[in-house]
Amino acid sequence: MKFDPSPFASAGSTHLKSENSSASPLTAPMPSRRRILKSLCACCAGFAIAPAGLSLLAAADRAEAATAQGTIRVGHLPAGCVSHLLLAKARGMFEKAGINAQLTQFNGPDKNILALQSGNVDVAHNPWTTTIAAYADNSKNLRIVGGSGLAGIELVARAGSVKNVNEFVAAAGKGLRVGTLRLDTLELVAYGTMAMHGKKYDDYAMQFFPSMVGMGEAIASSAVDVCSLAQPYAESVVAQNNAVYLANSNDVWGPAAPDCVINSTDAFIAKNGELLTAYQRVLVAAAKDFYGDFDAAIKDLQPIYGAPKEILAVALRRQAPNPVIGDAGAAGIRNGVKYLIDLGYLKTNVTDEVLDLKFQPA
Tell me the pLDDT band of 65, cut-offs 50, 70 and 90.
Answer: confident
User: Pick the residue with more confidence: 62 or 58?
Assistant: 62
Task: Give pLDDT, residue 361.
Answer: 94
**Measured distance CA(126)–CA(114) in Å, rounded:** 11
Tens digit of pLDDT for each residue in 82-122? 999 999 999 999 999 999 999 999 988 999 999 999 999 99
**Is 246 or 50 the better-scoring residue by pLDDT?**
246
Length of the chain: 362
C-alpha 82/C-alpha 47 separation (Å) is 12
User: CA–CA separation, 20 vs 77, rounded Å?
Assistant: 13
Domains, the chain, ordered by start: 6-20+33-149+259-354 (3.40.190.10), 153-253 (3.40.190.10)
Pairing between β-strand 99-105 and β-strand 70-76 as defined by DSSP bridges: parallel
pLDDT the model gives residue 78: 87
Residue 307 burial by Cβ neighbours in a 10 Å radius (0-12, 13-18, 19+): buried
Neighbours of 159 (CB within 10 A): 12
Q: Across residues 218-243, what is the average pLDDT?
A: 96
Give the mean pLDDT of the chain: 87
Cα(183)–Cα(198) distance, rounded to whole angstroms?
20
Encode pLDDT of 278-290 as tens digits.
Answer: 999 999 999 999 9
Rg (the chain; Cα; Å): 19
The reported pLDDT for the residue numbered 126 is: 96
| Integer Cα distance of 110 and 228 in angstroms | 18
DSSP per residue, 25-88 = PB-SPPPPHHHHHHH--BTTTT----HHHHHHHHHHHHHHHHH-SEEEEEEE-SSGGGHHHHHH
Pairing, β 142-150 against β 99-105: unpaired
* pLDDT above 60 (res 266): yes
Tell me how far apart the alpha carbons of residues 53 and 218 are, in angstroms, rounded to a whole number.
29
- Sheet containing 205-208: order of strands: 205-208, 177-180, 226-230, 153-157, 244-248
| pLDDT (tens digit per residue) in 113-163 | 999 999 999 999 999 999 999 999 999 999 999 999 999 999 999 999 999
Which tops the pLDDT comparison, 19 or 173? 173
Helix (H) or strand (E) holding 220: helix 212-220
Q: What is the pLDDT of residues 313-360, one digit of tens each?
A: 999 999 999 999 999 999 999 999 999 999 999 999 999 999 999 999
Strand locations in the chain (E):
70-76, 99-105, 123-127, 142-150, 153-157, 177-180, 205-208, 226-230, 244-248, 258-265, 320-321
Kindly tell me if the per-residue pLDDT of 220 is higher than 80: yes
- Whole-angstrom Cα distance, residue 102 to residue 89? 9
Mean pLDDT value of segment 194-198? 98
Contact between 228 and 62 (Cβ < 8 Å): no
Q: What is the value of pTM for the model shown?
A: 0.87
Query: Is residue 51 predicted with pLDDT exceeding 50?
Result: yes
